A and B are shown apart, each in its own frame.
Chain A
């Protein structure tokens, strides 16, 4: 076991140091095919079934650029307020690793397709932080290694490794921020808010699945500290394996407290790659490289330069959807929300989901209440992001519609949602399978009412005597007998009819 790192109290960290962040986000594009060949770009699948000579790097095979991927890269660049290169090239990044079939990654180096932009990020209290974007460039993903036999799932200690090249050649966009300074104690929050904003943006653009849990959005967090008043950045570490929004925040915070302790103890921070441990929220040192990695970049001779015409770029600019923050401004007005209500919406990550639910036909108030209350509880219970719950806005809208038409009670509706979350299908399917329709057949209800009245003659007597509120007990009994599938209002009517009549 590695020694437990010493940590500095967070309040002291931010009192003595200024954090500097740099975030590198890799986004897998959801194009139909891979970056340089015609293989299907699909998550999962039987290992090594979406492969061909090109993505396996067989001798003689050549890459051909995926035009859709270039289009997505340009659109992402535009949405991030970047300049779009008039001419750029791919480069080869040379290093050996078994999951990389050619032993070089086709990437972009000093000529990225998009550069010099920014993304405005809204924090929980409404403060806006502008994060500078250094560049967004295109590259291909590697295959996946599965290390078998070790305790950690990492290569050390493994007995053997399996390689799956289905992911090799999947188009990636790497988005790199400029150094983020001046955020002080809010640095971890800013990091999280930035990745969240980026995810929402990419989702709205429909260019990626942006599923952190599946690796279609991955974040590497560079963190360094400088003493208050210093002007030069400190040595940074790069933390990988940060697989959720919450982890982004935790990883940055942990690195700040760890580095501060090292510096305060008179030590120096080692420039290295670190791995985030989801279980305890710590980071651990990756294998230290004895020599600096030299990737020997040079322009990829197998591909022609990319020279997007200005007309094309403008056409693509016109295809940008309403961006999430613009949409939020609009919904605040349309739904008449206070700043605080809007913030709740945003903080729960529900704004876009609610909007999408409204777009699917639901009434804004209902949509908001489902996402902000019941579904947020479900997400918290499952420890996932709201957006990662396996239910779509359209499905939520359908549930709301079923309640409105009287086919479901609120209680039944929650059960239907549980069914959807459990993977039993869409709302209608769950209703059918679980038999959750409201019992609206009066004769069936009457039988249950008569039975309940007969079972509690004293209560029946009270109602007859004018104590209408006593009917509640009978309603309860009927609901129990019908397993909650009755419309309580109708049951009450029937009871009064029966007793009174």
Chain B
């Protein structure tokens, strides 16, 4: 019998809807795989076997009674990043502060997944409050990269991407504030998409940086990502920043791209994304990808986005500023960790002690950075200047998109680094998001699609594709086309069963 955990979501859905396999069998296969390998990988913080099987049974019952499947993905399992609220599972955001917190409400993404009959297996590990690029900042221990358990799976959504590469789930949801979907996708050899800002509701997404956060699909194929994109995207009246426009035709674009033909598509590569911070093998993989795109008929040209050089510093002012305010609510008064509540301490002291105990060092660092950047007398120099950079970056994008349909770059300057390698060097860690941050600052759409393995270390490399806001379908057309020439990849992930570290 086929190993159900190896199949893409589209094929699983086809088999389930044709009643060749049941959703329960598919779900059980993934739960079994989680039981086998997650002790090593640690992609999940919480697995809800009963809830998953109940959803699967409901899908099977619907199909047995001859009803149409609730969606193209009904019955397919999924791993949900632990930053989206779920009323039947804890939502910890990888933080001690929210350990065991079960929200009283579902995020809009969660609700849409449930409505679509998608089977939620559990909640995935992440850097605390999505702050990090390695998942080492999780209060509950790091996630390991299935390609090499000594290495990081990227972050903040390392759990979601690792679950895909480890065949624990065919689909996952991530959130991307500065690259937290795309960078883990790149270093695990999986697909990750940051939709246009406002394309997917943020309601129930525990905020890190409100003006940058965006939930999106993670999968092993571009088509699977497109199918998931359609399930979760669309206007939500509960999110004021949600776009009130039809969802871009991403599934149709992915199917169109599968022809492999890119004739007439103009592709720009960003001149500024190269240099000292880039690993040789990553640049080599990127060069190969450009050649393949040319062969597929794309017109490939160089473009310059000079202000992208300021993206990283601008991001590290805006994101911490917003986070300092967003995380202020964790004050031990209404929910979450509370310490020193012994009748001897004031509310203010209990709050301070609880925040001290509940937040990890990276979260504290960013709260302090942001508090400083917003403080009176510094606002204009820091937050104000960063907002101006943001405008300049948007202009760079706008100018580039007058010449080309999509921009491409390496997703991340290096392949997966070793666990522990950068924990004491925050700046080195921040460089992991060098190429992904501009799309967050400008709010446009971007994807990471695997571009094979790096020549120098044999680890996965990601090709980043960027499209204008509201033109998410271009990512899928180009990504799916590129996928046809890249060749298979994930069957080279080492066997994880029985491995220990």
Contacts and interface: CB of A to CB of B under 8 A. Distances in A.
Contact of A302 (B204, B240, B375): B240
B123 interface: no
A32 to B, nearest CB: 17
Contacts of B103: 53, 58-60
Contact of A94 (B206, B207, B211, B325): B325
A302 B376 CA distance: 22
Contacts of B205: 60
Contacts of B331: 96, 98, 103
Contacts of B140: none
Residue of A53, A163, A298 with most partner-chain B CB within 10 A: A298
B329 A296 contact: no
Interface stretch (A61-69, A278-286, A360-368): A61-69
Contact of A58 (B105, B209, B383): B105
Given A94-B325, A104-B325, A296-B375, A59 B203 contact: no
A65 B104 contact: no
A60 B239 CA distance: 10
A369 interface: no
Contacts of A65: 240
A59 B328 contact: no
Nearest to B331: A103
Interface residues of A, number: 29
A161 B104 contact: no
B93 interface: yes
Contacts of B376: 294, 296
A304 interface: yes
Given A53-B104, A302-B240, A62 B328 contact: no
B334 A56 contact: yes
Best-surrounded residue of A92, A101, A297, A301 (most CB of chain B within 10 A): A301
Contact of B206 (A59, A63, A296, A301): A59
A60 B206 contact: yes
A296 B376 CA distance: 6
B351 interface: yes
Interface string B32-57: 00000000000000000000000000
Contacts of B211: 301
A59 B91 contact: yes
B240 A304 contact: yes
Contacts of B107: 60
A62 B333 contact: no
Contact of A298 (B325, B329, B348, B351): B325
B96 to A, nearest CB: 14
B203 A298 contact: no
A57 interface: yes
B322 interface: yes
Contacts of A294: 375-376
A303 interface: yes
A102 interface: yes
B334 A298 contact: no
Interface in B397-425: none
Contact of B203 (A62, A296, A303): A62
A163 B333 contact: yes
Nearest to A292: B376
B347 interface: yes
Contacts of B447: none
A298 B85 contact: no
Contacts of A96: 328, 331, 348, 351
Interface in B87-103: 91, 93, 98, 101, 103
Interface in B315-329: 321-322, 324-325, 328-329
Contacts of A104: 325, 328
A298 B374 contact: yes
Interface string A62-96: 11110000000000000000000000000010101
Contacts of A63: 240
B474 to A, nearest CB: 25
A64 B206 CA distance: 16
Contacts of A53: 103-105
Contacts of A301: 209-211, 241, 322
A276 to B, nearest CB: 25
Contact of A304 (B237, B241, B335): B241
A57 B336 CA distance: 13
Contact of B84 (A56, A60, A302, A303): A60
Nearest to A296: B374
Nearest to A52: B105
B104 A101 contact: no
A101 B324 CA distance: 15
A58 B238 contact: no
Contacts of A98: 331, 333, 347
A58 B329 CA distance: 8
B240 A61 contact: no
B279 interface: no
Interface string A301-314: 11110000000000
A102 B84 CA distance: 18
B111 to A, nearest CB: 12
A91 to B, nearest CB: 10
Contacts of B202: 62
A64 B203 CA distance: 11
A60 B322 CA distance: 14
Contact of A60 (B207, B209, B240): B207
Interface in A17-66: 53, 56-65
A296 B91 contact: no
B85 A296 contact: no
A61 B210 contact: no
Contacts of B329: 57, 59, 101-103
B371 interface: yes
A56 B206 CA distance: 14
Nearest to A294: B376
A59 B105 contact: no
Contacts of A302: 207, 210, 240-241
Interface in B229-244: 237-241
B379 interface: yes
Contact of A59 (B98, B351, B371): B98
A298 B328 contact: no
A94 B105 contact: no
Contacts of B238: 62, 64
A302 B375 CA distance: 20
Q: Which of B93, B333, B375 has the most CB of A within 10 A?
A: B333
Contacts of B371: 296
B85 to A, nearest CB: 5
Contacts of B374: 94, 296-298
Contacts of B237: 64
Contacts of A297: 374, 379
A65 B206 CA distance: 20
Contact of B334 (A101, A161, A304): A101
B328 A103 contact: yes
A37 to B, nearest CB: 9
Interface centre among A53, A60, A92 (most CB of B within 10 A): A60
A296 B324 CA distance: 10
B357 to A, nearest CB: 17
B45 to A, nearest CB: 15
6 contacts: A57-B329, A62-B203, A98-B333, A163-B333, A296-B376, A303-B240
Given A59-B101, A104-B325, A301-B210, 16 more contacts: A53-B104, A59-B85, A59-B93, A59-B330, A60-B204, A62-B203, A62-B240, A96-B331, A96-B348, A98-B331, A101-B329, A102-B328, A102-B329, A103-B329, A296-B374, A302-B210
Interface of B: 84-85, 91, 93, 98, 101, 103-105, 107, 202-207, 209-211, 237-241, 321-322, 324-325, 328-331, 333-335, 347-348, 351, 371, 374-376, 379, 383
Interface of A: 53, 56-65, 92, 94, 96, 98, 101-104, 161, 163, 294, 296-298, 301-304
Interchain residue pairs A-B with the least CB separation, the first 7: A103-B328, A296-B374, A301-B211, A301-B210, A59-B206, A60-B204, A60-B206
